[in-house]
Amino acid sequence: MRLFLIAGEPSGDKLGAALIRGLRHLMPQVEVHGIGGPAMEAEGLVSLFPMSDLAVMGLAEVLPRLRHLFRRRDEAVAAIARLAPDALVTIDSPDFCLRVATKAKAARPDLPVIHYVAPSVWAWRSGRAAKMARSVDHVLALLPFEPQYMRAVGMSCDFVGHPVVAEPIATPAQANLFRERHGVEGPLALVLPGSRRGEVGRLAPIFGEALEQLPKDARVVVPAVPHLADTVRQAVQTWPGRPIIVTETAEKQAAFGAATAALAASGTVSLELAANGVPMIIAYDMNWISRQIIAHMLKVDTVTLVNLVSESRAVPEFLGDACKPGPVGRTFADLLRLPSQRDRQQQALDTTMDRLGRGGEAPGLRAARSVVMAIEAFHARE
């Protein structure tokens, strides 16, 4: 079997690498071609061009590079036509991937197209699923409630598990060593003001003021992506709790394992916290215009994935106008001080991880099985 895979960003690269490992487990002779980053290349993929060419976010950044991106799209379509794969697998990055899929499908209607990571139509912009169905046959979903939305518009869809269940977590010994190394004796507050420069700039002042209400013996630890480490250090230098900045992967894992509770920006980090059993509160704000647009489009009453997957509202949220230092600080301080507050979240955290596939077959292998079965089902219908 020959497959053409496309990933356009680091998270998709990791999914693609796990998928390739799963495919090789099922079919050792499988051929993989396409576009990917270091993780997929480590599994044997020779990328058509650097994945970094596609890593452009935001209208202001995209517009000057549109001609280049269209050229890369056409290169990908031409490679698919030349290689004649048994299927095209696109991984997240819908702006680029689905444009390639549309052109490839138009040129070859008998090409099965599989998209990995369902769009969050359950939250907003439900029309995306119907639009995607014009060129996509099958979807691999990360969340257990997503398949119904894909099937409703004519695509087949399998829940294949979330990659967070396969991520390594710190052992109790590693967590204890982190506390000893940094002299932490009381509560450890894990604070995550976002992974983008704009998020850090917007949320760090709010989080810093909120932390004024922390217990006196609490320490603060702030994980940071390496390219934002200096920005984070500058942003937290006046915070209470003598912040510990960690950038190394092993140190981050140990910090998650050692944490008493977390204050985090909205995003998939809530699932990382759940995987480590860390109770949390979520706080997030954006500019006024974006806030108004999202408020009118949002279809759910919570944006925290732990709340959605566990079908609970166990994790407190402070979003938009509610993202104020006073209420955020009081709630977070209570979470650090009171075991009863933390205990209230534990069932939701465990339920979330179980529903995402913890303890089962690795998501990459599940995804590989789904890809193979979808290709077989597609040709059986032809």
Judge if pTM exceeds 0.85.
Answer: yes
HEC sequence for 191-206? EECCCCHHHHHHHHHH
Task: Give how far Cα 244 sits from Cα of 54, 203, 213, 220, 230, Å.
Answer: 34, 18, 18, 6, 13
So what's the pLDDT on residue 112? Answer: 97
DSSP summary character for residue 261: E
So what's the pLDDT on residue 32? Answer: 97
So what's the pLDDT on residue 227? Answer: 87
Instruction: Return the closest-CA partner of residue 2 out of 92, 78, 82.
Output: 82
**HSE of 315 in the Cβ direction (CA atoms, 13 Å)?**
38
Q: Just give the CATH number of 172-355.
A: 3.40.50.2000
| The pair of three-digit structure tokens given for residue 196, joined into one six-digit string | 């983008």
So what's the pLDDT on residue 289? Answer: 65
Domain with CATH 3.40.50.2000 in the chain: 2-161+359-381, 172-355
So what's the pLDDT on residue 291? Answer: 59
Q: Just give the CATH number of 2-161+359-381.
A: 3.40.50.2000
Question: Can you give the pLDDT of all 382 residues of the chain as single tens digits?
Answer: 999 999 998 899 999 999 999 999 999 999 999 999 999 999 999 999 999 888 654 444 555 567 888 899 999 999 999 999 999 999 999 989 999 999 999 999 999 999 999 998 876 678 899 999 999 999 999 999 999 999 999 999 999 999 999 999 999 999 999 999 999 999 999 999 988 888 999 999 999 999 999 999 999 999 998 889 999 999 999 999 999 999 999 999 999 999 999 999 998 999 999 999 999 999 998 765 665 666 666 678 898 999 999 999 999 999 998 999 999 999 999 999 999 999 999 999 999 999 999 999 999 999 999 999 999 999 888 6
